[in-house]
């Protein structure tokens, strides 16, 4: 096991180093073109690092990492989500924790746990790192949001939602 990961698992890695590790994961995605824009955290507010990602449907997403709570989240992953869609989204997320899911899509429940919350139709996604592997958590949360936009939302049932909430041109879909 690499020394940095061993230190993280045993709580030796400091807050700044943990923020830097998550930032480097996000920067790799930005350099690979996954994000159309990336703004690294300038400074941590109240121990949290906030990154801005220009991503799906040219929206700016905030990615918040709180090393004290071993948590990372997208405070607004999806806006204006109807109740039935929210129930189905939670099932989609639950399926990503299942042992039957392919390794590249599965979120190991011993390493991380993802939850969705809904306030007034605005859905936030949170991931709690259980074993100190912040890099694993960041990758899995990014992959999950990517899957939500490329699989869950594009399965045909959410066409109206995409048109209304993401300025999707119905003539080009």
C-beta separation of 125 from 114 below 8 A: yes
CA atoms within 13 A on the CB side of 110: 2
Instruction: Work out the average pLDDT over 15-26.
Output: 93
Pair of tokens at residue 57: 């449907």
Q: Is 1 a residue whose pLDDT tops 50? A: no
pLDDT tens digit sequence for 83-104 = 999 999 999 999 999 999 988 8
Residue appearing with tokens 């929210």: 86
Helix (H) / strand (E) element for 21: namely helix 15-31
pTM across the whole model = 0.87
| Per-residue b or e along 158-168, where b marks 16 or more CB atoms closer than 10 Å to that residue's CB | beebbeebeeb
Beta strands 122-129 and 37-39: pairing type? Answer: unpaired
DSSP code per residue over 86-144:
HHHHHHHHHHHTSTTS-TTT---TTTEEEEEEEETTEEEEEEEESSS-HHHHHHHHHHH
> What is residue 74's predicted lDDT score, i.e. its pLDDT?
97
């Amino acid at each position: 096991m690499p020394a940095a990961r061993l230190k993280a698992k045993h709580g030796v890695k400091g807050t700044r180093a943990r923020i830097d590790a998550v930032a480097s994961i996000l920067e790799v995605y930005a350099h690979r073109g996954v994000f159309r824009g990336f703004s690294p955290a300038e400074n941590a507010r109240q121990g949290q690092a906030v990154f801005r990602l220009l991503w799906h449907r040219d929206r700016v997403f905030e990615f918040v990492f709180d090393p004290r709570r071993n948590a990372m989240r997208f405070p607004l992953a999806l806006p204006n989500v109807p109740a039935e869609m929210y129930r189905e989204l939670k099932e989609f997320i639950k399926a990503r924790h299942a042992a039957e899911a392919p390794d590249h899509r599965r979120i190991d429940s011993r390493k991380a746990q993802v939850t969705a919350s809904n306030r007034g139709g605005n859905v936030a996604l949170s991931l709690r790192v259980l074993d100190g592997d912040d890099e694993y958590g960041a990758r899995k949360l990014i992959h999950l949001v990517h899957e939500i936009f490329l699989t869950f939302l594009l399965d045909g049932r959410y066409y109206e939602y995409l048109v209304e909430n993401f300025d999707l041109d119905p003539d080009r879909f």
